[in-house]
């Protein structure tokens, strides 16, 4: 989905002339319940062309990323016999438990971002996956915070 009708909102070029009202109307075309079913929602800014030509530096090459993903999927399969995305509610309680400060953070996010129970379950599953990619046995508060950040589009009150 584009950020607005012209697709330029939020980039630094200043080429977007859409009004706040137009942008809001554009976003309301995708319904809250539909957005709620999308696990990972992030805003992607238009890259500067110089980035596309720049040397890769020390960013992970795709072969290494692929290895981590394959390993994370193996861990998920060993744990529950399926990928995290397919966990049912009982399995989420069993395999994606969080405690203490993490629980407080999720409760706070529910209040602040008007998250539905389904959104909460999706956040917990994505947290588990982030922890798996990090080769962590437990979901840390950082893993949870990252998963919550991936839901920022549904945090727009106009989607409810």
Helix (H, G, I), strand (E, B) or coil at 52: helix
- C-alpha 50/C-alpha 132 separation (Å) is 33
CA angle (62 as vertex; 59, 68 as ends), nearest 5: 95
Pick from 1, 2, 4, 75 the residue near Zn ion by CB under 5 A: 4
Q: Find the binding residues for Zn ion in span 15-74 (CB under 5 A).
A: 16, 18
Q: Should residue 144 be labelled a site residue for Zn ion when binding is judged by CB under 5 A?
A: no
Task: Give how many residues touch Zn ion by CB under 5 A.
Answer: 6
Structure tokens at 27: 């976003």
Tokens for 84, please give them.
């995290």
Residue 153: CB minimum distance to Zn ion, A = 17
Separation of alpha carbons 4 and 58, rounded Å: 34
Residue from 146, 121, 117 nearest 133 by CA: 146
Min dist CB 3 to Zn ion, Å, is: 7
Q: Among the candidate windows 3-11, 66-74, 105-113, 121-129, which touches Zn ion by CB under 5 A?
A: 3-11
Choosing from 6, 38, 105, 149, the residue that interacts with Zn ion (CB under 5 A) is: 6
- Give contact residues for Zn ion (rule: CB under 5 A): 4, 6, 8-9, 16, 18
């Amino acid at each position: 989905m584009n950020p607005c009708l012209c697709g330029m909102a939020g980039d630094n070029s200043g080429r977007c002339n859409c009004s706040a009202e137009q942008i809001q109307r554009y976003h309301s075309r995708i319904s809250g319940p539909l957005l709620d079913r999308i696990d990972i929602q992030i805003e992607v800014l238009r890259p500067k062309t110089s980035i596309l030509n720049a040397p890769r530096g020390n960013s992970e090459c795709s072969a290494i990323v692929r290895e981590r993903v394959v390993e994370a999927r193996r861990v998920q399969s060993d744990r529950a016999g399926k990928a995290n995305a397919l966990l049912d509610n009982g399995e989420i309680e069993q395999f994606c438990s969080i405690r203490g400060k993490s629980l407080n953070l999720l409760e706070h996010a529910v209040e602040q971002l008007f998250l539905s129970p389904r959104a909460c379950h999706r956040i917990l599953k994505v947290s588990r996956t982030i922890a798996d990619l990090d080769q962590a046995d437990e979901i840390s508060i950082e893993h949870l915070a990252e998963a919550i950040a991936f839901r920022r589009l549904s945090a727009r009150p106009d989607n409810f």
